[in-house]
Amino acid sequence: MTTYDLAVIGAGSGGVRAARIAASLGAKVVLAEESRIGGTCVIRGCVPKKLLVYASRFGVDFQDSSGFGWSHEAATFSWQRLLMSINAELARLETVYTQNLLSAGVRIVPFHAELLGAGGVKFRATGETIRARHILIATGARPATYEQLPGWDLCDTSDDIFGWESQPKRVLIHGAGYISVEFACLLARLGSEVTVVCRGSHILRGFDTELSQHLQSELQAAGITFLLHQTLGAVRQESASLKVELSGGASVCADAVVSALGRRPNVQGLGLQAAGINTDARGAIVVDKQFRTSAPDVFAVGDVTNPLQLTPVAIRDGQSFAQTLFAKGPALSRTTAIPTAVFTTPELGTVGLTEEDAVSHYGEVDVYICKFRPMKGVLSGASVQCLFKLIINRADDRILGAHVIGPEAGEIIQLLSVSLNMGARKSDLDVTLPVHPTLAEEILTMRTPVRRHSRSEAA
Instruction: Give me the residues that bind ligand FAD (CB under 6 A), please.
Output: 9-15, 32-35, 39-41, 45-46, 49, 112-113, 138-141, 158, 179, 266, 269-270, 302-303, 309-312, 314
Q: Is 436 a catalytic residue?
A: yes
Query: Which residue pairs from 277-286 have beta carbons closer than 8 angstroms and sit at least 24 positions apart in sequence?
Result: 277/115, 277/137, 282/307, 285/137
Q: Which residues contact 323 (CB under 8 A, 6 or more apart)?
A: 21, 25, 329, 331, 332
CB 421 within 8 A of CB 337: yes
What is the C-alpha to C-alpha distance for residues 53 and 399, in angstroms, rounded to an integer? 30
| Closer by beta carbon to ligand FAD, 121 or else 367 | 121
| Closer by beta carbon to ligand FAD, 139 or else 393 | 139
Per annotation, catalytic residue among 214, 229, 403, 436:
436
DSSP letter for each residue of 16-53: HHHHHHHHHTT--EEEE-SS-TTHIIIIISHHHHHHHH
Q: How far is the CB of 175 from ligand FAD (least distance, A)?
A: 12
What is the C-alpha to C-alpha distance for residues 319 and 81, in angstroms, rounded to an integer? 37
What is the C-alpha to C-alpha distance for residues 352 and 426, in angstroms, rounded to an integer? 14
Q: Which residues contact 74 (CB under 8 A, 6 or more apart)?
A: none
| Closer by beta carbon to ligand FAD, 334 or else 373 | 334
Q: How far is the CB of 142 from ligand FAD (least distance, A)?
A: 8
Q: How far is the CB of 321 from ligand FAD (least distance, A)?
A: 11
CA–chain centroid gap for 403, Å, is: 16
In the bound state, the residue with its beta carbon closest to ligand FAD is 12
| Closer by beta carbon to ligand FAD, 131 or else 394 | 131
Q: How far is the CB of 245 from ligand FAD (least distance, A)?
A: 26
**What is residue 349's three-state secondary structure?**
strand
What is the C-alpha to C-alpha distance for residues 195 and 229, in angstroms, rounded to an integer? 14
Bridge partners, residue 225, by sequence:
195
**What is residue 363's three-state secondary structure?**
coil
| Closer by beta carbon to ligand FAD, 135 or else 232 | 135
Q: How far is the CB of 235 from ligand FAD (least distance, A)?
A: 21
Q: How far is the CB of 356 from ligand FAD (least distance, A)?
A: 23
At 182, the amino acid letter reads: E
Residues with catalytic annotation?
Answer: 436
